[in-house]
A and B are shown apart, each in its own frame.
Chain A
Amino acid sequence: MIASLLTIGLGLLLLTTQSAIATLVSMHAFPPNVVLPIVVFMGVASEVQLVRGALTSFILGYLLDAFCGSSMGLHTFVMVAAFFASRGAGLRLFPQAALLQVLAMFVAAASADATVYALRAIFEHPVLPGLGDDLKATIQSVAASALATAVLSPVIVAMARRIEATRHRREERAVIGKAHL
């Protein structure tokens, strides 16, 4: 419970930092998704229970919707789906090396962005945002956003990992305490 709250707090902190930085520096060209690395990490981390991970992803997605001003449910759905996709893709696939992690995150971010576009295209039919007008520009936008997310992901994953590690140690101490009793 505490780990989930801390993870949500981390997401909130990252979102507020991003929005604060966005007021000073234009991030229009490379807008990172700061929540996605946390969701993907929870998806691949075996110590994160399925329900807890899905629920945390749901809340993080909901916060992302609120901060982005996008239609409610858009990022919520994508984040929960990303969590399940990461978990389904297999725990062993998420590499420990930073470079491979960045590559994997790039693919995940690009897929998430593509899903967002696809959902909007489906529900906002016949208006297809971006896709109908300039496919190349849309692909470039997705790639730029995915790149920014991938570059930032090692730091964000490290923070999320630390939260989980703290929780793990606390649980171990509790088990040892019980064994002593």
Chain B
Amino acid sequence: MNYFRRFRDAAICVVLLALPFFVLRANLRDPSRTTGIDRTLLQLSAPFQYAATQLALGVSSIVQEYVYLIEVKRDNDRLREENAHLRETAFKLSAQGEENHRLRKLLALREQLGGTTLSAQVISKEVRSYFRVIRLRLDRGERDRVKDGMPVITADGLVGQIRRTAGRYSDVLLVADKTSAIDVVVQRTGARGMLKGTGSEEHYACRLEYLSREDDVQEGDLVVTSGLGQRFPASILVGRIHKVTKKESGLYQEAMVTPAVNFSHLEEVLVMTAGSRAQGIEEEGGTK
């Protein structure tokens, strides 16, 4: 038994050594010189060869796909970071574009107005409930020869007038302030009235008073400065009528006006330090 076992083991060892040798020889031999034994060996070994190759390919592809996924994750992280950076850049460019647009409009307005104007940055806003701006502070003051009562305008229309100056700063009284009063006309009909701020904390609004009952005034009419009193140049857009109230009796009618300028979004303004050509700016500047 022991002898048989030793013989069997030796035979197996010989086969294990000889088999790959002959398979190798059949594989590497010049095809024109292969014998019948070689071809038989190749035919017999082909399925095993196929199975081993498939196993190797399968396992390798699983591992390589895992490695590929790691690479993808790394790429993802990098792209996410790059995306955040690009978003930031795009946001900056967009903000710069908007600023550029505003400044261009302001520059156009300045050229259109003539006279002497001074550009100013809004450096602070006094805000009340409902986030309504009630006062602005500009970075120009006495040192820049800014004085009380000077008109403050933007491309959208009249903002108000300088109320107080101090050193390098000045405060602006908005047209919507309840202490503001401006002589205006309705652009369409030329009806004249006095525009007073309501000082409402809920919305920006002005009241157009002393309008004759006979005057034709409608919702949507534009209201511009009259130029009377020499404080404001004529024809600067102030706002748009959104409600007309005609009382049963009396000499006058009233209208509610929405200011042309959104005071919450102001960043740059022009201060008119000397007389202008008093041209209509509402058409170019931003009629609402």
Contact = CB atoms under 8 A, between A and B. Distances in A.
Interface in A55-69: 55, 57-58, 61-63, 65-67
Interface string B1-35: 00000000100110011011111111111000000
A119 interface: yes
Contacts of B63: 16-17, 19-20
B70 to A, nearest CB: 9
Contacts of A72: 20, 23-24, 27, 45, 49, 52
Interface residues of A, number: 33
A55 B12 contact: yes
A76 interface: yes
A73 interface: yes
**Which DSSP category, helix, strand, loop or mixed, fits chain A's interface?**
helix
A20 to B, nearest CB: 4
A23 interface: yes
Interface string A71-95: 1111011001100100000000000
Contacts, number: 93
B20 A77 contact: yes
A82 to B, nearest CB: 11
B64 A123 contact: no
Contacts of B49: 66, 72
A103 interface: no
B20 A73 contact: yes
B53 interface: yes
Contact of B20 (A12, A20, A58, A67): A58
B21 to A, nearest CB: 5
B79 interface: no
Interface of B: 9, 12-13, 16-17, 19-29, 45, 48-49, 52-53, 55-56, 59-60, 62-64, 66-67
Interface of A: 12, 15-17, 19-20, 23-24, 50-51, 54-55, 57-58, 61-63, 65-67, 71-74, 76-77, 80-81, 84, 119-120, 123-124
